[in-house]
Amino acid sequence: MIFKKIQKTIRKTVFAILLAVATMGATFASSLDWNVGATSQYLWRGMSQGNGAAVSGGLDYDAGNGFSVGTWVSNVDFGDDTTYELDGYFGYSFDNIPLSIGYIYYAYPDGDDLDFSEISISGEIGPVTLGVAVLADADWEADLGDDPYFTLDTGFTLREGLDLGIHIGHYDYEAGDAETDYGLSLSIGDFSFGIMDSSRDDSDPKFIISYGFSGSL
């Protein structure tokens, strides 16, 4: 129990550092970008994070040398007292090979033992991006490397201002059945229209409309 509390303290300290770097990046930033978005439903890996619309926003700092750090926030509704998600993340993209590694901390400040973190790696093969993320740590009982999530993403420009995206994800849970989620999205300017579903027995196709815009500071 004591070791678990120490782990939690370390994760929260790392998370606080990520937020500080992301929000203070304007002082020394090579590139500091912001984004704001709204969606009819917040889906994460095929799972709904609430019954209604969600509004989100984020800051991303690019050091110009492959290193990046950022933060992102959105409202959620799990049917309990949890009202929002606050993420902190950093990553590194290699120059000579199309490979990226990253770490992300998912925080739910007003939730009850919901925080967790992941490490990930992704690479590009032509127009296809392949990736895998695994648990680094969690508020619940979990080990490093648990619950790998594999992804395949690709996209095509149909014409200027009109893009098609394809996503397939597969969760290999340590406890429980494996799940696959998949979706198609059509982006027109700042708007995106998508349909998503998963292999879960209680899942139905979900139609999503999103709007987002971004800029630089």
Helix, strand, or coil (residue 114): coil
Put residue 66 in one of left, alpha, beta given phi > 0 → left and psi -120 to 50 → alpha. Answer: left
**51: exposed, middle or buried (C-beta count within 10 Å: 0-12, 13-18, 19+)?**
exposed
Question: For position 26, what pLDDT does the model report?
Answer: 46
- pLDDT of 173 reads 92
| Rounded Cα distance, 162 and 68, in Å | 28
pLDDT at position 21, please?
55
Total number of domains in the chain: 1
Q: Is 156 exposed, middle or buried (0-12, 13-18, 19+ CB in 10 A)?
A: exposed
Q: Are 181 and 172 in contact (CB under 8 A)?
A: no
From 169, 108, 171, select the one nearest 135 (Cα to Cα).
171
Ramachandran sector of residue 141 (left: φ over 0; alpha: ψ -120 to 50; beta: rest): beta
Q: Which amino acid, one-letter code, is at 48? A: S
Beta carbons within 10 angstroms of residue 117's beta carbon: 20
Please report, for the domain that includes residue 107, its CATH number: 2.40.160.40
| Residue listed under structure tokens 């990253």 | 102
Instruction: Give 10-residue mean pLDDT values along the chain (217 residues).
Output: 50 58 52 96 94 96 95 95 97 96 97 96 97 96 94 96 97 91 97 96 92 94
Q: In which domain, by residue range, is 23 found?
A: 2-216
Q: Distance (Å, rounded) from C-alpha 215 to C-alpha 84?
A: 23
Q: Which two tokens stand for residue 150?
A: 């594999």
| Contact present, 86 and 70 (Cβ < 8 Å) | no
